Every structure is written in structure tokens, then in C-alpha cells.
Amino acid sequence: MPTYLGFDASTQSLTATILDIDLDRARRDIVFEHTITFDEAFPGYRTANGVIRGEDGVTVTTPPAMWVAALDRMGAELAKSGVDLGTIAAISGSGQQHGSVYLTAAAADAFASLDPSRPLIDQLRHVFSRPVSPVWLDCSTGADCAAITGALGGDAAVAALTGSRAYERFTGAQIHKFAHAEPDAYARTDRIHLVSSFFASMLAGTHAPIDPGDGAGMNLMDLASRTWAPAALNAAAPDLARRLPPLADSWAVVGELAPYWQRRYGFGPAKVIAWSGDNPCSLIGLGLIDAGQLGISLGTSDTVFGPVARAVHDPRGAGHVFGSPTGGYMALTCFANGSLARERVRDMHGLDWHGFAARLAQTPPGNGGGMLAPWFVPEITPPVPHAGARWKDVDPSEAPRAVRAVVEGQAMGMRIHSRWIAPRVSTIRVTGGAAANAAILQVIADVFDAELVRIAPRNAASLGAALRAFHADRLAAGAPVPWRDVVAGFTDPDLRVTPDPAAAAVYRELLPKYETFATP
Ligand code: XUL
């Protein structure tokens, strides 16, 4: 029976999910899931939460060599999973968005001639023209964004062309910074991959394309035509077009799994499908197929997102529009102070998550007017370039009110900055680590005055990637399966939270006040 493998190369970890899908027998099971946490598995790379923060407080990178080592380690884990890897028909993946990998011309040969008897990292260590990859937490490129915005005619013009105004973490500004700060290394750079297309390249043994889901996170792609935008490329760096992989549909078959993986770990000749970004993959993993649906992912970053009928824009200029892996579009708002902020308040008071939920329950909705703009690290939405949490009428050393302030501040921020995606929602699908905490979910349901359904606490991004592999495999075989049937059975809720009318009324009144307070 065919099985399908999805990866999620996220900020802090690499996850693999294998699905067994037999449409004839209505069988749909997750048969294997495994996560490798970077800090624990690879202490030699000295990352904290998967990244290295620069002393300037704004530069955030990851050594891409660690990702190479992690994929190889995952191959070994899969080989001992008990699943017959020969049954895997197709493989796809999800990558943290925006992060970029810089390779010399040696990479193409290295990918094509991987020797199964030697570790992957020993064969790829020499192919990087830049030893670090800037990742989505980086906000060191303010001047680069200004240069790009100026060249393209202002924020609105950049957003209309690429789906977002110029953002520090987006790849175009990161490439601009690199090309100007390290021109020699840029000159040696033959190919610039996203995290997603870099992992796909290692699997396929050839340079893989970028899909419109992740490509839209670069400020370099013409969102309407899903092609590279020459004006945006020119604004970012000289001679960039030849350094970028081609854009291809999210369901494109990149090639056959490289012999390295087949011989070293016992895979068969599986199809490698284009990888996408973690948010586009989570869209699928949460079963968000129709416009008007809204999803919330409570992870390292918190994101609010949903499919949209056409390429709308956030009138406030804080949100993004990406390609959806279904071929349409998705809209998204990202908050950098997601679990980072929750953990900060939890740790300030020496609590575990149980204690955190208990403190939340000790305080009433609205927190007696106390508020927090939870900017413990520089914030993306709204843009706050330098860290600095802002408290109002809350003593941060008083645990119950501090806990409520962070949860309510985050929920109100999500509501305020997602109106443009779906002005009215009846049901929100929620996932991510913090979704395990029902007390947090209740606050979100009350603030949105909408029912929340939790999609079983599994990795939505790697699940979505595996479902995308299934979809692409059937399409390539000439037997396409409608998206609704692709996601059916894997995205059923395990918890429903209904809003409390009295609490919802409190938040309705509080929202405009919070909006004024939490404007930088
Ligand atoms: C989205 C964003 C993050 C990353 C990491 O724009 O920056 O959600 O994709 O998860």
C-alpha cells in the first residue's frame, strides 16, 4: 500500500510524518511521527531554540550545516521506524518561511553525486558561500527594506506587486543586505535557496524549485503571475535572476528521491514533490480549503491565516498574501511574540503550563483594565523594531494578572490584525503547542466571539506536507483527488470551545481601547 512522507523543517526542530492512505478501503492513518529538536540533538552548533542571536539584538541566523545533519539523522530514524520505506510513494515538506541558504557552484555536483557510504554533511560542508542562514526572526534589514521600498515606489506598490510590503525577515531584504555587506561572498553565490527548496534539493539530488506559497515570502515574486518580478529582483541585488531557482507549482514533481537515500536508508524511488512554507502547509494540515475559514497556529510565532478568494491586501500593511498550495491564495498575519512571550511570563513566575492555566483562571476577563503589549522580542505585527513589553495597570510581578495580560494581549492583537482576512468567522481552527492549553483557547474564543475547534495536537505543517505529497502523487498519476477528500479524516477536531457571551461582551468593549494602547 502506498504511504506518504511529509517533513517540517521548523525553527526549533525537524519533524517527519508518514501517512497510510487507501481511498478504496477508506483507510487514513498516521503511521509514524518523529521530531528531532535541534538544540538537543546538535549541541555542537550552539543554537538556542534553533537559532543564534547576534549581539546587536536584531540579527538572527541558523547554521545551514545543522539542517543537513538533521535531515541525515531523520533518515536514520525513519530507517528504524518499522515502516517499510519502500512503500513511500511521494515525499514533500514544509520549511520555516523566509530563511535563505547560499550555495556555490559546487552544490549542483555535490547534490548529484552523493555517496551513500558517507554522512551527508561530509559531502555538503563545502558548498555554502555563506556559513549562516538568516531566518524569519531576523530584523536587521531595516535600511535594506527602505532601499527596496524606495526603488519600487513605496509600501503600497511593493504590497500590490509581491503580496506584502518590504519586511525585514523577507528574503529580498536579506539578499540585499548580504550582497552589499559581503560582495565577494555574494559573487561566489551560484544559487540562493529558501529553507524549503534547500531541503527538497538534498532529497532530490538536484536544485529544486521554489513554490508560490514560499516564494511569496521573499518580496521578489509577482503575486498575480507567480513569476519572479524583474523590478523586485533588481531592487534587491545585482544579477539575482540567475541565482534563484525557478518557481514551480506546489504540486510539481522535482524528481526521484536521490540514490543516496535509497541505498543508505532503504527508501524506494519515491517522487520528491516541491516543498512549501510552514504556513501554506499548515493551511492544508488544518483542512482550511475554503475562503472565509480562519486558522490560528500557536507556535514559536503565532500566526492567523486563511484561504482567500483573490489576492487581497491588508489595508494596514501588516499582513501578507502568499500562494496557497491548492493553487489559490492565502492571507496571513504573523506575531513574533508567540510562545516566546508566553514562556517569558511563565518563567518570570517559575510556573509550569498547569500553573500558568491556574493563574489565568484566578482573574476575570478584561483583567480589570490591565493590559500588556507583549513585545518581549522585536514584533512583526504591529511593527516594533526594538524589544520592550508595554504594561498598563498591571504589576508584572503579580502572577495571575501578568498571565492574563499576556494571553489577552495576544488574543486581542490577533483579532485586530486579522479582520482583513475574514471580517466575520463562525469557527476558527487552532493548532500548535499552546493549543494544548484549553484556558488559553477559551480567551481566544471569547475575544473573537467565535467557536474554536482544536485540530488534534499533532504537527499541522508536516501533516500538511504529507497530504500535499499524496495530492501531487495522485495528480501525477492522472487520478486527481479533490482537496476536500485529501484532507478528510486527518483534520477532525478533538476539542470544541464555545465563547462565553459575558466575556465576549467585555472584550467587544475593550478591543478599541487595546488597539489604541498597543499601537507603537
Ligand atoms: C511567517 C513567519 C513565520 C515563519 C516561521 O511569515 O515569519 O511564521 O514561517 O514559522
Residue 35 pLDDT greater than 80, yes or no: yes
- The amino acid at residue 36 is I
How many helices (H) and strands (E) in the chain?
20, 23
Atom of ligand 1 nearest to the CA of 320: 6
Q: Please count the other Cβ atoms lying within 10 Å of the Cβ belonging to residue 230.
A: 12
Higher pLDDT, 246 or 25: 246
Section 266-285 average pLDDT? 97
End-to-end CA distance of the chain: 55
pLDDT score recorded for residue 27: 79
Return all residues near 493 (Cβ < 8 A) that are at least 6 apart.
429, 453, 454, 455, 456
User: Where does the pLDDT of residue 513 fall: very low under 50, low under 70, confident under 90, or very high at 90 and above?
Assistant: very high
Ligand 1 geometric centre to CA of 334 (Å): 7
Q: Which residues pair with 110 in a beta bridge?
A: none
CB-based burial label for 233 (10 Å; 0-12, 13-18, 19+): buried
User: Are the C-beta atoms of 71 and 100 separated by less than 8 Å?
Assistant: no
**Reduced 3-state DSSP string for 359-385:** HHHCCCCCHHHCEEECCCCCECCCCEC
Higher pLDDT, 62 or 434: 62
- The amino acid at residue 400 is P
Section 181-196 average pLDDT? 98
Q: Is the CB of 168 under 6 A from ligand 1?
A: no
Model pLDDT for residues 138-179, shown as the tens digit of each residue: 999 999 999 999 999 999 999 999 999 999 999 999 999 999
User: Are the C-beta atoms of 249 and 211 separated by less than 8 Å?
Assistant: yes
Higher pLDDT, 147 or 289: 147
DSSP string, 424-443: S-SEEEEESGGGG-HHHHHH
Model pLDDT for residues 321-332, shown as the tens digit of each residue: 999 999 999 999
Atom of ligand 1 nearest to the CA of 297: 8
Ligand 1 geometric centre to CA of 353 (Å): 24
- pLDDT averaged over every residue in the chain: 95
Tell me whether the omega of the peptide bond preceding residue 382 falls within 30 degrees of 0, making it cis: yes
User: Are the C-beta atoms of 220 and 236 separated by less than 8 Å?
Assistant: yes
Atom of ligand 1 nearest to the CA of 217: 6
Q: Which residues pair with 495 in a beta bridge?
A: 454
Ligand 1 binding pocket mutation candidate from 169, 304, 335 (most atoms within 8 A of CB): 169
Return all residues near 357 (Cβ < 8 A) that are at least 6 apart.
437, 438, 439, 440
**Reduced 3-state DSSP string for 262-325:** HHHHCCCCCEEECCEEHHHHHHHHCCCCCCCCEEEEECCCEEEEEEECCCCCCCCCCCEEEECC
User: Are the C-beta atoms of 244 and 101 separated by less than 8 Å?
Assistant: no
Model pLDDT for residues 227-245, shown as the tens digit of each residue: 999 999 999 999 999 999 9
User: Are the C-beta atoms of 377 and 360 separated by less than 8 Å?
Assistant: no
d(CA 285, CA 482) in angstroms, rounded, equals 15
Q: Is the CB of 278 under 6 A from ligand 1?
A: yes
Q: Is the CB of 297 under 6 A from ligand 1?
A: no
Q: Is the CB of 9 under 6 A from ligand 1?
A: no
CB-based burial label for 430 (10 Å; 0-12, 13-18, 19+): buried
* Nearest protein CA to atom 9 of ligand 1, as residue: 97
Model pLDDT for residues 446-465, shown as the tens digit of each residue: 999 999 999 875 789 999 99
Residue 341 pLDDT greater than 90, yes or no: yes
User: Where does the pLDDT of residue 496 fall: very low under 50, low under 70, confident under 90, or very high at 90 and above?
Assistant: very high
3-state class (DSSP) for residue 141: coil
pLDDT score recorded for residue 436: 87
Residue 336 pLDDT greater than 80, yes or no: yes
d(CA 407, CA 153) in angstroms, rounded, equals 38
d(CA 440, CA 336) in angstroms, rounded, equals 18
Model pLDDT for residues 72-129, shown as the tens digit of each residue: 999 999 999 999 999 999 999 999 999 999 999 999 999 999 999 999 999 999 999 9
Task: Record the pTM.
Answer: 0.92
Q: Is the CB of 303 under 6 A from ligand 1?
A: yes
Residue 313 pLDDT greater than 80, yes or no: no
Residue 369 pLDDT greater than 90, yes or no: yes
